[in-house]
Amino acid sequence: MNTTTISDTASHHDEHDAPTGIARWLASTNHKDIGTLYLWFSLFMFFFAGALAMLVRAELFQPGLQLFQPEVFNQLTTMHGLIMIFGAIMPALVGFANWQIPLMIGAPDMAFPRLNNWSFWLLPAAGILLIATFFVPGGAISGGWTMYPPLYIQGGMAYDISILAIHILGISSIMGAINIITTILNMRAPGMTLMKMPLFVWTWLITAFLLVAVMPVLAAAITMLLTDRHFGTHFFNAAGGGDPVMFQHIFWFFGHPEVYIMILPAFGIISTTIPAFARKPLFGYASMVYAVASIAFLSFIVWAHHMFTTGMPVGGQLFFMYTTMLIAIPTGVKVFNWVATLWRGSITFETPMLFSIAFVCLFTIGGFSGLVLALVPVDIQLQDTYYVVAHFHYVLFSGSAMAIMAGVYYWLPKWSGRMYNETLGKLHFWLTAIAFNITFFPMHFLGLAGMPRRIPDYALQFADFNMISSIGGFMLGVSQLLFLYNVVQCIRRGTPAADKPWEGADTLEWTLSSPPPYHSFVTPPHIK
Amino acid sequence: METHPHPATYYVPASSIWPLVGSVALLSLGAGFALLLNEQPVGPYLVAIGAGILLIMLIGWFGDVIDETQAGKHAEQVETSFRWGMVWFIFSEVMFFAGFFGALFYARNLAVPMLADAQILWPGFSASWPTAGPGTDATITPVAAWGLPALNTLILLSSGATVTWAHWGVLQGRKNQLLLGLALTVILGALFIALQIHEYGDAAFSIRDGIYGATFYLLTGFHGVHVMLGTAMLFVIFWRALFGHFTARRHFAFEAVAWYWHFVDVVWLLLFVFVYWL
Ligand SMILES: [Cu+2]
């Protein structure tokens, strides 16, 4: 991808004022500023929900009830999951989309700059509502992030507040996704055909489609919860001819694509960093695009693998088992392509690359444990055990979260115009990778031995692994302070970064200055 | 090198306070509604304040966009963005209704038969539709499809025709046809809503009557809200047409509302078939 003309950004203004002070952030219509807001918000929520996880691990440090009553423990696990998903991972990935998509396709901004700002500012509104639930009578929601009835119908005010908060998050996600799709379809620079787009842009195009398709379904599901709670409907009550399992069907029709919403942009980040540090073009670009599209398609027909123990017919179990196992094919294509990109590359191991390689290894472990769980007879044993907890932390932490960290280290020089401290970055990586495995690898053993999740106490034979896991958890939590420190130090007093600090990087954003001008590509570049 | 015809600039609006105002509105609405549901006296006030702020935001924000359009700031590429935006917005609405239709099909074809097959909790319950569920003796007399609902179908289908007729008007520069078509569409929309309210008043069952009542009122209710929204939007378009905002070439706001109206129309046809008729 070569650019023959690079924008002259200083000369062209219609209403391109660069506001200063607080208005710059509150009323922004600039994709970079809004991206920054998303990223800071998600970092704050990452630490908040991470603190909840520390409390969970503290309670599980030893058997018996030490710190919390069971209902408080369940509030902690529920809110940890809900906030990590909707408050930390998704906003971080949208932050990347905001910063990178216009830069990577040569657009002046997002297609709907004001809508973009609304998508962001709805997040703090929902965040306030969610955090406030800890302080209402009865405490926060405690039925798990999946919100299953009948438990969810019986709880107190926190349940209503959370439903409305999730509605607001849904509005934000849908508007954000529409904005991203429109930007990619309509704002590409001349010559930037779809199959020339960087893979990160492709993953976001498909992710945004998933968001528009499934967030409204979640909205419908939680609306039914709300009417069951307050307006006398019987959607999820068998006495009225409804069915609590119906909620699980509708929820997981949203829920399974949702996990891909959190991983596909991470694939996009990794598909950007690995070629850059291997100094080779991405192996099998077209097959990567088709793999992402197939994963997205399959995500709509696998949802009941979360429900093998709810009593579905054998035919249904077989169907959902096989469709789930099919996902291994396009995912395998991706993993092999990343490895093939590394093959005979001139590889260097800067912090983003370390995180990327860890992603490939550890996400693959999470993918394999997912395959294990896809097997109906095995899943019936492992349903609701710590094996499941281990599985989804391998895909969500060592998958999504570590890809986000790779992306932050990779693009921070571009975004801030300054370099981070490489030594600290590497230290952060090694501590994170080691602590992560100490925390979550033993959970596989705990789950196989039968330890149930969402229970604050456990049998004595689980004590050793839980203590190891908790120690790893505290290490993991503390290590993230290094990340915060490194980012803040980089922005405040890092050494100035070159326009293209990574030798092997080849996407459009590196043709701009670091940091890029206020309006990225006022005159679109021409792509050969 | 390919040389695409590409406008030199894409209109990037100056900073705007409306998104933040909208977020405050939804925060107030969300908190207020939760408090209202839990019988806290402050709830209704917060809801009212939130709704008021939301209305101000909508007027202000759309007002800005209309001013920009009238000032000619939206080049063709911006209009293409609007088109994509509207297409995907309508798709999201389709998926919202798909969630409720999914509940209807699941309950009718799976949940109720399974309850009848199991015979554990409620021996003697036999599957039928409509049903108020095995936990009650109440029987449901549904609204007869070929009465008021059929008339409403006719009304909405006609309104689809009138809005298309209005579209021909704007395309051929006949302002009177545009205005008349829009006015007729608004009137038909309002008539539909009035008849729907009348039907609710006469219905022999309520939202509390089992899964049938739940699916019936949520599906028709959300559809009704969409008709109200569509009618309100058509009304705004009527006023804008009156002030001559639309030309044969540039009238995307009209088209967007017309698309939305057709979407509401199609949802109603599905409702008529699967909720009222079959
Ligand atoms: Cu799944």
Which of A9-18, A241-250, B68-77 ranks highest by mean pLDDT?
Answer: A241-250
Tell me, what CATH number does B248's domain have? 1.20.120.80
What is the A311 CA–ligand 1 centroid distance (Å)? 17
- In percent, the amount of chain B with pLDDT more than 70 equals 97
Type of residue numbered A179: N
pLDDT at A17: 57
Kindly tell me if the per-residue pLDDT of A370 is higher than 60. yes
Question: In chain B, whose CA is at the least distance from the CA of A116?
Answer: B19
- Indicate if B162 and B249 belong to the same structural domain: yes
| Chain B residues with beta carbon closer than 8 angstroms to that of A20 | none
- Specify whether A119 is catalytic: no
Does any domain span residue B156? Answer: yes
Closest Cα partner for A14 from B13, B61, B248? B13
Provide the 3-class DSSP secondary structure of residue B123: coil
CB contact under 8 A, B24 and A125: yes
Select the residue from B9, B38, B67, B88 to test the A interface by mutation, using most A Cβ atoms within 10 A. B88
Tell me, what CATH number does B27's domain have? 1.10.287.70
- Indicate if B32 and B131 belong to the same structural domain: no
- Indicate if B110 and B34 belong to the same structural domain: no
**Nearest-10 Cα torsion for B186, B187, B188, B190:** 90
Query: Is some CB atom of chain A closer than 8 A to the CB atom of B112?
Result: yes
**Nearest-10 Cα torsion for A367, A369, A370, A376:** 150
Kindly tell me if the per-residue pLDDT of A528 is higher than 90. no
Kindly report, residue by residue over A83-119, the tens digit of the pLDDT: 999 999 999 999 999 999 999 999 999 999 999 999 9
* DSSP result, A225-264: HHHHHHS---TT-GGGT--HHHHHHHHHHHHHHHHHHHHH
Alpha carbon A139 to chain centroid distance? 27
Residues in A 249-308 with any Cβ partner in B closer than 8 A: 249-250, 253
Does any domain span residue B2? Answer: no
What CA–CA distance (Å, rounded) separates A444 from A442?
A: 5
CA atoms within 13 A on the CB side of A270: 30
pLDDT at A215: 97
- Indicate if B37 and B166 belong to the same structural domain: no
CB B46 within 8 A of CB B26: no
| Chain A residues with beta carbon closer than 8 angstroms to that of B7 | none
Residue A299 backbone dihedrals phi, psi, to 5 degrees:
-60, -20
Kindly report, residue by residue over A382-416, the tens digit of the pLDDT: 999 999 999 999 999 999 999 999 999 999 999 99
CB contact under 8 A, B85 and A161: no
Kindly report, residue by residue over B6-43, the tens digit of the pLDDT: 445 688 888 899 999 999 999 999 999 999 999 999 99
CB contact under 8 A, A216 and B34: no
- Indicate if B23 and B118 belong to the same structural domain: no
Does any domain span residue B1? Answer: no
Domain boundary among B43, B74, B105: B74
- Indicate if B90 and B219 belong to the same structural domain: yes
The ipTM (two decimal places) reads 0.94
| Chain A residues with beta carbon closer than 8 angstroms to that of B111 | 238, 241-243, 245-246
Residue A385 backbone dihedrals phi, psi, to 5 degrees:
-105, 175
Domain boundary among B74, B99, B120: B74
- Direct distance between the N- and C-terminal alpha carbons of chain A, in angstroms, rounded to an integer: 7
Question: In chain B, whose CA is at the least distance from the CA of A186?
Answer: B81
Does any domain span residue B118? Answer: yes
Residue A324 backbone dihedrals phi, psi, to 5 degrees:
-65, -40
Select the residue from B1, B15, B74, B119 to test the A interface by mutation, using most A Cβ atoms within 10 A. B15
- Indicate if B164 and B258 belong to the same structural domain: yes
- Indicate if B261 and B134 belong to the same structural domain: yes
- Indicate if B134 and B239 belong to the same structural domain: yes
Does any domain span residue B172? Answer: yes
Does any domain span residue B160? Answer: yes
- In percent, the amount of chain A with pLDDT more than 70 equals 97
Q: Nearest CA to CA, how far is B256 from chain A (Å)?
A: 15
pLDDT under 50: residue ranges of chain B: 1-7
- Indicate if B34 and B114 belong to the same structural domain: no
- Indicate if B50 and B138 belong to the same structural domain: no
* DSSP result, A46-100: HHHHHHHHHHHHHHTTSSS--S--HHHHHHHHHHHHHHIIIIIIHHHHHHHHHHH
Tell me the residue range of the domain where B264 lies.
75-277
CB A181 within 8 A of CB A209: yes
pLDDT category at A328 given cuts 50, 70, 90 is very high
Read off the pLDDT of each residue in A247-273 and give the average, rounded to a whole number: 97
Read off the pLDDT of each residue in A63-76 and give the average, rounded to a whole number: 94
Kindly report, residue by residue over A31-57, the tens digit of the pLDDT: 999 999 999 999 999 999 999 999 999
Provide the 3-class DSSP secondary structure of residue A138: coil
Q: Is the dihedral of CA A179, A295, A402, A345 positive or negative?
A: negative
Domain boundary among B24, B50, B74: B74
Select the residue from B11, B20, B117, B126 to test the A interface by mutation, using most A Cβ atoms within 10 A. B20
Report the number of distinct structural domains present in chain B. 2
**Nearest-10 Cα torsion for A487, A489, A491, A495:** -120
- Indicate if B13 and B70 belong to the same structural domain: yes
Does any domain span residue B138? Answer: yes
